[in-house]
Amino acid sequence: MNSVASQASTPVVRAVERVLPSHYASQDEIIGSLRDMWATRHYNLDRLEDLHRAVQVKGRYLALPVDQYAALTTFQQRNDAWIKVSLELGEQVVRQALARTGLTPRDVDHIFFVTVTGISTPSIDTRLMNRLGMRSDMKRTPIFGLGCVAGAAGTARAADYLRAFPDQTVLMLAVELCSLTLQREDLSIPNIIASGLFGDGAACVVLQGGRRAAEGAGPRVVDTRSVLYPDTERIMGWDVVDTGFKVVLSAKVPQLVRDYIRRDVEGFLAEHGLSRKDIKHWVAHTGGPKVLQSFEEALELAPGMLARSWKSLQEVGNLSSASVLFVLGEMVESGEARPGDWGVMMAMGPGFCAELVLLRW
């Protein structure tokens, strides 16, 4: 897409709302609970604590109170809890997002729903239609399996749709309840790291086509870019086992960021006559300390450019697909961006892949 495309065809981000479950546990509380669970397995409990401290997460909001997780012994029990809480958080965040923009559920023409932490047929977006009183002719696109990259990818796909339908309003809803995927019998390093890094939350982006949104309503989605790195399927994802979702998480992720993200960002920007120095605002997925450091090093970002991503990681952990949207929401609401500013939202996830979204205020 040419960067001088008319505003009439350029989608607009009207609002980004975020919600967290009501149950909070500090990292110390979570470590204590996991120590009790894994003590009988003769695991090196000091190593457990070291790995949890290394991810720099202070605490997380959880789908359920900490003491209720022990009773969830089957995949069905965990998935049933995922459906219940996903509907609660999904309804809450959609209502808040629409209220912020002065819209109603019946104003929505299409909803994109992304998740990687549970399964439901009918999908969560379908179940929300009756709860929210949406139109029966509203279109739905549920997307499963993109993981951490899905917040950016879902926003990109919603924007792509709005280029064809510039008079419409779209929601992009992300709900992730990572705590319900913990494999208590898995004592691998990836599972231990995941148990210390990932948290729960939901986010909703309201987008409108260029002919629907008012001038100055929010940043415009100028262009999007998807990149798949060949032969990297085992870098990140799930192994689906009898007890549910078993995490696949390679130590190679930070190196892949360092190897490729600069090349891909620079190539993407060059198509619009831009370079890295033209970007005022960087919105990065909170993949973990090593991932954020790799973004900073590869893109040669000045200190503080990813401050919101670091803060989100420390306060709520990695929320998978919702994470980058939490950072985007903070950015949009800060009022820091000035008319004409350029921004890039970026995330990486299973595939292994990257999604880039070029924004202009």
Q: Which residues are catalytic?
A: 148
- Residue 38: both structure tokens together: 């894994």
If you search the block for the tokens 């990149």, which residue do you land on? 227
Question: Does residue 226 contact residue 355 with C-beta atoms inside 8 Å?
Answer: yes
H helix intervals, the chain: 27-38, 45-54, 75-101, 124-132, 150-164, 189-197, 253-270, 289-299, 307-316, 323-334
Of all helices (H) and strands (E), which one includes residue 117?
Answer: none
Angle at 73 between CA 68 and CA 76, to 5 degrees: 100
Give 343's strand partners.
281, 359
**What is the full DSSP assignment across 239-298?**
EEETTEEEEEE-TTHHHHHHHHHHHHHHHHHHTTT--GGGEEEEEE----HHHHHHHHHH
Q: What is the DSSP letter of 3?
A: T
Residue 34's CB is within 10 A of a number of other CB atoms, namely: 22
